[in-house]
Amino acid sequence: MKIRTRFAPSPTGLLHIGNARAALFNYLFARHHCGEFVLRIEDTDRERSTQQAVDVIFEGLKWMGLDWDGEPTFQASRQDRHAEVVAQLMEKGMAYRCYCTAEELAAMREKARAEKRPPRYDGTWRDRDPADAPEGVPYAIRLKAPKEGETIIKDLVQGEVRVANAEMDDLILLRSDGTPTYLLAVVVDDHDMDITHVMRGDDHLTNTFRQAMIYRAMGWDLPKFAHLPLIHGPDGAKLSKRHGAQSVVEFREEGILPEALCNYLLRLGWGHGDAEILDREEQIKLFDIDGIGRSPSRMDYVKLSHLNGIWMRRANDERLTALVMQRLAQRDDLNHDETVRARVLALMPGLKERAKTVVELADNAAFAGLRLPLTLTPKAEKHLGEEGKKVLAGLETRLAALEPFTPEGIDSTLRAFATEHELKLGAVAQPLRAAMTGTTTSPGIDLTLAALGREEVLARIRSALSA
Ligand code: GLU
């Protein structure tokens, strides 16, 4: 049997990381078994579904490198098929028309609440003679759910979970306006799409009991279910805005690389021995459902940025430079032409050693595009007092004459200058750094000067001297 998994998001907002993790797990499971991973956009809620949210899903999945097989399915386009299944259930006597009005249903709920019972449909129309049907009143179609016994799900993560059928009411399959409910549509689509494994958040577990009833009523085999514990905030509460980023786009904005986010989301709630840093190939090789933990995970933003730092150091310099340049391009206080790009690229080996996010990387690289005169931080200003300026003036002629203008040559020049003037290397490097960056931090001073190039270095020295 070919394994087929799916990701079935509702396009009603952002791509939440809980959903992104479900997508990742479904993708890895399918790829591990040389199966297929398909995408279904659950857009049956026409009012809340937007094209923008659909695009966010497509882009988010592509960014994470989760390529799906075939064309995506749009659930709303399958309404006729959903209605057809309901007609079959009616024929089998497994569904019935319910003529209750909204007011009657509200009264039913109210009564249940007053009697301290859970608000369930009381079965008014379940066994009533269809001849009693009021004329011209719209009706919903409900499943004739079993009243006795239990519904048991052998969940691959949660183990065996069961609920007494008496606890569940007759769910609506088709609303009175003829539209299918989510519970019905998911079952019909998963069945028709030959989905073998449904992996989704455990907030869907109660839906699964109800969906199982629809499968059984149709005489269809159930897929295997794996309900994933949710991702909570660092404090154990429901993950919310106040904790930090929650959606894929937000993490991207905060400068997280997709491979770091995927690696983090995988390790959050799934384990394989001590394996911590896993690339896609290893993820596919090692992923299994057995490794998924049962308890909720806590989002650890510090750990994520640590992991991101590791992935940045592994990332290609050209790619990181492109990401940095995209960010610098948004600043109008900087130049961001080809010369600046070449400087950033040359600085990248040093820059990526220190930064944990692309945002930090861009902040640390920004000096490459600064226009003169630089604005100095108070600390940098201290290095450009009388002593500092003397150093700069002395270095100006030497650097002007240095040939070739390489990190090695620069390093020897600075060392020789320090020795001759009985200065510590720092006393030479710091005024230079202040003059080059306006701050007191940068990659190694030799790399910094080499990346800026002789002409720019001399211009920045002169500008500092004339300030
Ligand atoms: N569309 C549902 C959601 O976004 C998921 C349905 C499912 O995975 O079965 O929550």
Question: How many Å apart are CA 67 and CA 61, to the nearest integer?
Answer: 7
Write down how long the chain is. Answer: 467
C-alpha 10 to ligand 1 mean position (Å): 6
Residues tagged active-site? 241
Q: Is the CB of 8 under 6 A from ligand 1?
A: yes
Atom of ligand 1 nearest to the CA of 19: 4
- How far apart are the two ends of the chain, measured CA to CA in Å? 75
Question: How many Å apart are CA 255 and CA 253, to the nearest integer?
Answer: 5
Atom of ligand 1 nearest to the CA of 22: 8
- What is the amino acid identity at position 403? E
Give me the pLDDT at residue 398, please: 97
CA distances from 197 to 140, 221, 278, 285 (A): 30, 12, 24, 18
DSSP class of 237: S
Q: Is the CB of 14 under 6 A from ligand 1?
A: no
Average pLDDT for the chain: 96
C-alpha 296 to ligand 1 mean position (Å): 18
Predicted confidence (pLDDT) at residue 313 exceeds the cutoff of 90: yes
Give me the pLDDT at residue 119, please: 86
Query: How many CB atoms lie under 10 A from the CB of residue 159?
Result: 9
- For 79-82, which contacts have Cβ atoms below 8 Å and span 24 or more sequence positions? 79/44, 79/179, 79/180, 81/188, 81/192, 82/174, 82/180, 82/184, 82/185, 82/188
Q: Is the CB of 204 under 6 A from ligand 1?
A: yes
Question: How many Å apart are CA 344 and CA 336, to the nearest integer?
Answer: 10
- What is the amino acid identity at position 107? A
C-alpha 151 to ligand 1 mean position (Å): 21
What is the share, in percent, of the chain residues with pLDDT greater than 70? 100
Residue 231 · residue 268 · CB < 8 Å: yes
- For 427-432, which contacts have Cβ atoms below 8 Å and span 24 or more sequence positions? 427/387, 427/391, 428/391, 428/395, 430/383, 430/388, 431/383, 431/384, 431/387, 431/388, 431/389, 431/391, 431/392, 431/464, 432/391, 432/392, 432/395, 432/461
Q: Whose CA is nearest to atom 7 of ligand 1?
A: 8
Question: How many Å apart are CA 384 and CA 357, to the nearest integer?
Answer: 30
Q: Is the CB of 41 under 6 A from ligand 1?
A: no
Q: Is the CB of 10 under 6 A from ligand 1?
A: yes
Question: How many Å apart are CA 207 and CA 200, to the nearest integer?
Answer: 11
Predicted confidence (pLDDT) at residue 467 exceeds the cutoff of 90: no
Name the packing angle between helices 386-401 and 454-465 (round to 10°): 150
Q: Phi/psi of residue 7, each to 5°?
A: -115, 130
Average pLDDT over residues 163-190: 95
Provide CB contacts within 8 A for 69, sequence distance 6+. Answer: 36, 37, 38
Residue 317 · residue 349 · CB < 8 Å: yes
C-alpha 9 to ligand 1 mean position (Å): 5
Q: Is the CB of 227 under 6 A from ligand 1?
A: no
Q: Is the CB of 9 under 6 A from ligand 1?
A: yes
Question: How many Å apart are CA 466 and CA 24, to the nearest integer?
Answer: 57
Average pLDDT over residues 202-208: 95
Task: List, for residues 358-409, the tens digit of each pLDDT value.
Answer: 999 999 999 999 999 999 999 999 999 999 999 999 999 999 999 999 999 9
Taking the domain 378-466, which CATH number applies? Answer: 1.10.10.350
Q: Is the CB of 361 under 6 A from ligand 1?
A: no
C-alpha 325 to ligand 1 mean position (Å): 37
Q: Provide the token pair at 321.
A: 């430079």
DSSP class of 149: S
C-alpha 210 to ligand 1 mean position (Å): 14
Give me the pLDDT at residue 34, please: 98
Q: Is the CB of 42 under 6 A from ligand 1?
A: yes
DSSP assignment of 243-312 equals: GS--BHHHHHHTT--HHHHHHHHHHSSB--TT-----HHHHHHH--GGGB-SSPEE--HHHHHHHHHHHH
Give me the pLDDT at residue 279, please: 97
Residue 162 · residue 151 · CB < 8 Å: yes
Q: At 274, is the pLDDT very low, low, confident or very high (cuts 50, 70, 90)?
A: confident
Pocket mutation for ligand 1, best pick of 10, 57, 184 (most atoms within 8 Å of C-beta): 10
Pocket mutation for ligand 1, best pick of 17, 43, 183, 204 (most atoms within 8 Å of C-beta): 204
Average pLDDT over residues 21-27: 98
Q: Whose CA is nearest to atom 6 of ligand 1?
A: 8
Task: List, for residues 326-350, the tens digit of each pLDDT value.
Answer: 999 999 999 999 999 999 999 999 9
C-alpha 39 to ligand 1 mean position (Å): 11
Give me the pLDDT at residue 89, please: 98
Average pLDDT over residues 306-311: 98
Average pLDDT over residues 56-84: 98
Question: Which architecture does CATH list for 78-183?
Answer: Alpha-Beta Complex (3.90)
Give me the pLDDT at residue 273, please: 87
Q: Is the CB of 223 under 6 A from ligand 1?
A: no
C-alpha 408 to ligand 1 mean position (Å): 58
Predicted confidence (pLDDT) at residue 118 exceeds the cutoff of 90: no
Atom of ligand 1 nearest to the CA of 9: 4
Q: Is the CB of 200 under 6 A from ligand 1?
A: yes
- Among 79, 86, 3, 19, smallest CA distance to 46 is for 79
DSSP assignment of 11-59 equals: -SS--BHHHHHHHHHHHHHHHHTT-EEEEEE----TTT--HHHHHHHHH
Question: How many Å apart are CA 171 and CA 185, to the nearest integer?
Answer: 13
Task: List, for residues 416-440, the tens digit of each pLDDT value.
Answer: 999 999 999 999 999 999 999 999 9
Query: How many CB atoms lie under 10 A from the CB of residue 127?
Result: 8
Residue 251 · residue 259 · CB < 8 Å: no
Task: List, for residues 222-270, the tens digit of each pLDDT value.
Answer: 999 999 999 999 999 999 899 999 999 999 999 999 999 999 999 998 9
Provide CB contacts within 8 A for 28, sequence distance 6+. Answer: 266, 283, 284, 287
Q: Phi-psi category of 456—alpha, beta or left, where left has phi over 0 and alpha has psi -120 to 50?
A: alpha
Residue 325 · residue 275 · CB < 8 Å: no
Q: At 441, is the pLDDT very low, low, confident or very high (cuts 50, 70, 90)?
A: very high
